[in-house]
Amino acid sequence: MTPETQSRNTRALCELAPVIPVLVVGDAGRAEGLAAALVAGGLPVLEVTLRTPAALDVIREMAKVPGGHVGAGTVLTPDDAKRAKDAGASFAVSPGLTERLARACEEIGLPLLPGAVTASEVMRAMELGYSMLKFFPAEAAGGAKSLKSLAGPLPQVSFCPTGGVTPRNAPDYLALPNVVCVGGSWIAPDADVAAGDWQAIETRAREAVALT
């Protein structure tokens, strides 16, 4: 799967909803209920970060939910990518991009949404064939104003900004011509996940859908 094809696939996923929930889940027993609530609320694309020992099991459980598209976040190495795909991830998200990671995703057929924030990083990703990127850490890297400035010289690249995105600033990002969707962690707070309050999470998901 070439980087060009990967970007077509990740862009299609990003176009399904205005927000991709970024999830750090430590209990695989909560995974299926959480994914079902998010999908029911209108957010079918889910990013499970590889930041907990349970992350791969969480991906396996979430992949069972009809209508969902579960990806792995914080994919840093070829081994991360392989383990994520083996667990059922349909895409991968990385905070940056290396040639080794790009080659690995090409070889195993896993669509990658790589990160870039500077013009040079974006141009490097373009050289490798990527046109759909993650802008991370969005707020720390200058926020919507910084991302807007990239649209002028690099209009052929689209982004999913994550990192510091909230319900208050998400509309600023979504209004940009080079933004397809945003990624956010506010939709599934730890307290609601721990309590199994799926209704609260579904309600928050519906509110996120209405941000456009």
Residues with catalytic function: 47, 134
CA torsion sign for 82, 134, 1, 15 is positive
The DSSP line for 96-112 is: S--HHHHHHHHHHT--E
Question: Is the N-terminal amide bond of 137 cis, ω within 30° of 0?
Answer: yes
CA dist 21 → 2, 5, 14, 109, 124 (Å)? 26, 23, 11, 23, 27
DSSP β-ladder status, 91-93 and 69-73: parallel
Q: If we measure between CA atoms, which residue out of 191, 189, 182, 188 comes closest to residue 163? A: 182
Per-position DSSP letters for 26-40, written without gaps between them: S-GGGHHHHHHHHHH
Angle (CA) 20 170 179, round 5°: 70
Cβ atoms of residues 94 and 113 within 8 Å:
yes
